[in-house]
């Protein structure tokens, strides 16, 4: 029995039944990290092995605290885990030790997880390519010359290679979706507000980013999501959320799925992306769902303008204090400086217009979901690219005018806080994995997980084709 190939829920049940101990699971985890992490660089700030084994023995001798009891987890290096560094991929914070857990991390600990380290991320999470000057680049385990995606690239690679069975991530611009697609695992951006962030700074304006779960199966996604969700009384725009694990194993009703493809040509797709996406749509048809090709339901240029304005506005608010300090400004990467300066140059009218476009798109989606239960898009517009690139400059002959234009396919859902599950879509002729975004209306998280569960039962791409690393 290879306990590292088991899903987290299966590991949890086996621990509860005494099939193996937490210490045995920890030993296997550390051995796997020793064997492969030097190649892919997914887990960073790994804690001392002797101390982790001691904590595992303590978990073996104590009462079970929750379904995650004894399960090793590494936290994305944008969130605080008490006693561990939170570098955010920046030399400005390298070695800075967190004194307390973020609310999401605290909930994982309360459920019994053992925090073993951090997972790698781009500097400040900016850009869907995991590299930074503190920990270096995370490599794709299906081709170590290529990007793992991001910003949850370390988490996705740790899952794909069996170093973790379940992981947290965060998503502003596809960071739970693109790396999941590029590493043949599942990632979920939940309904915005169901997984609270931290009760600090502005609590009203910046409704773009959210934490969420990643896993090798939809069941584990649901279990981790149920642990993460729950309103925070200190934050006005958080939601209680609905538990999903009890329903994920049920087959969904026959769903109406609208496939948006390249958004009537507005989204350039690298060769092979449309073909693998169509194969996935045919797979969903084979499961009994009605899949229809949709005309573009909204002006993509308007969505992009709204997105980039609101994103720059948010980044300028978050990183502005660093920019204002001459001694620290030079440590910001060019993309961060560009976002801050752009955000600060905006007038109130520009921000208001961006919010109005977002509101119009939400209203349009409300009507669209009267005719469709789920919308589908590729998880990325291209295959994993050269790890030495900063970002792709051209897709299908079309120049990319910003560092993040190549990820435009993820903004329709992220702009208005809709839930999305990335499902693995298989592999191209190049041997690289791709994914599909399944998008639903607000609070349809459980239905999306049911559909993902049905897909997983029919395909199990993570189990059928693990990476060669």
What are 57-93's pLDDT values in tens digits? 999 999 999 999 999 999 999 999 999 999 999 999 9
Residues 6 or more apart in contact with residue 207 via CB below 8 angstroms: 192, 193, 237, 417
pLDDT, average across residues 131-148:
98
Say if CB 121 and CB 76 are below 8 A apart.
yes
Per-residue pLDDT, averaged over 424-446, amounts to 98
Q: 143-147 and 139-140: which strand pairing? A: antiparallel
pTM more than 0.95: yes
Q: Residue 428 has what pLDDT?
A: 98
Give the SS3 label for residue 156: helix
State the average pLDDT over residues 50-54: 98
Report the pLDDT value the prediction gives residue 1, as an integer from 0 to 100.
Answer: 72
Cβ neighbours for 234, distance < 8 A, ≥ 6 positions apart = 199
- Burial grade of 150 (CB within 10 A; 0-12, 13-18, 19 or more): buried
Q: What is the pLDDT of residues 95-127, one digit of tens each?
A: 999 999 999 999 999 999 999 999 999 999 999
The alpha-carbon radius of gyration of the chain (Å, integer) is 21
- Whether omega for the bond prior to residue 418 falls within 30 degrees of 0, making it cis, is no
Average pLDDT over residues 415-438: 98
Spell out the domains of the chain, with CATH numbers in brackets.
3-461 (3.90.1300.10)
| Average pLDDT of the chain to the nearest whole number | 98
- Please tell me the chain's helix, strand, coil percentages from 3-state DSSP, rounded to the nearest 5: 40, 15, 45
pLDDT at 133 over 90: yes
Alpha-carbon distance of 206 to 332, in angstroms, equals: 21
User: Which two three-digit tokens encode residue 215?
Assistant: 């896993």
């Amino acid at each position: 029995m290879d306990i590292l190939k088991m899903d987290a829920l299966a590991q949890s049940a086996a621990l509860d039944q005494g099939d193996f101990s937490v210490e045995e699971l920890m030993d296997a985890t550390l051995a796997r990290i020793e064997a492969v992490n030097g190649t892919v660089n997914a887990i960073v700030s790994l804690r001392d092995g002797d101390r982790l084994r001691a904590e595992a023995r303590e978990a073996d001798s104590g009462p079970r605290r929750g379904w995650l009891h004894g399960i090793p987890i590494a936290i994305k290096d944008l969130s605080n885990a008490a006693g561990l560094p939170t570098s955010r991929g920046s030399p400005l914070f390298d070695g800075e030790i967190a004194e307390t857990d973020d609310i999401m991390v605290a909930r994982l600990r309360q459920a019994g997880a053992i925090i073993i380290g951090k997972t790698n991320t781009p500097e400040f999470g900016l850009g869907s390519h995991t590299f930074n000057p503190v920990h270096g680049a995370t490599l794709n385990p299906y081709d170590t010359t290529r990007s793992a995606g991001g910003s949850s690239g370390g988490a996705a690679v740790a899952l794909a290679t069996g170093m973790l069975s379940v992981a947290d991530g965060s998503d502003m611009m596809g960071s739970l979706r693109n790396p999941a697609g590029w590493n043949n695992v599942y990632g979920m951006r939940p309904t915005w507000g169901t997984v609270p962030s931290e009760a600090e700074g502005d609590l009203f304006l910046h409704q773009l980013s959210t934490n969420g779960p990643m896993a090798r199966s939809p069941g584990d996604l649901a279990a981790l999501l149920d642990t993460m969700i729950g309103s925070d009384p200190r934050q006005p725009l958080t939601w209680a959320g609905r538990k999903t694990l009890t329903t994920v194993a049920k087959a969904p009703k026959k769903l109406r799925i609208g496939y948006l493809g390249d958004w009537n040509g507005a989204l350039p797709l690298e060769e092979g992306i449309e073909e693998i996406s169509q194969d996935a749509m045919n797979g969903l048809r084979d499961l009994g769902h009605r899949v229809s090709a949709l005309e573009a339901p909204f002006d993509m240029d308007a969505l992009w303008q709204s997105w980039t304005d609101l994103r720059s506005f948010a980044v300028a608010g978050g990183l502005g204090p660093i920019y204002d300090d001459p001694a620290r400004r030079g440590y910001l990467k060019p993309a961060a400086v560009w976002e801050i300066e752009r955000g600060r140059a905006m007038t109130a009218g520009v921000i208001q217009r961006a919010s109005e476009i977002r509101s119009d798109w939400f209203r349009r989606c409300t009507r669209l979901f009267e005719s469709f239960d789920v919308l589908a898009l590729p998880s990325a517009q291209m295959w994993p690219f050269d790890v030495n690139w900063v970002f792709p400059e051209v897709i299908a002959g079309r120049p990319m005018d910003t560092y993040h234009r190549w990820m435009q396919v993820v903004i329709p859902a992220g702009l208005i806080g809709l839930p999305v599950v990335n499902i693995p879509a298989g592999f191209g002729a190049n041997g690289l994995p791709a994914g599909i975004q399944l998008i639903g209306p607000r609070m349809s998280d459980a239905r999306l997980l049911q559909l993902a569960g049905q897909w997983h039962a029919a395909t199990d791409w993570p189990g059928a084709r693990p990476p060669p690393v």
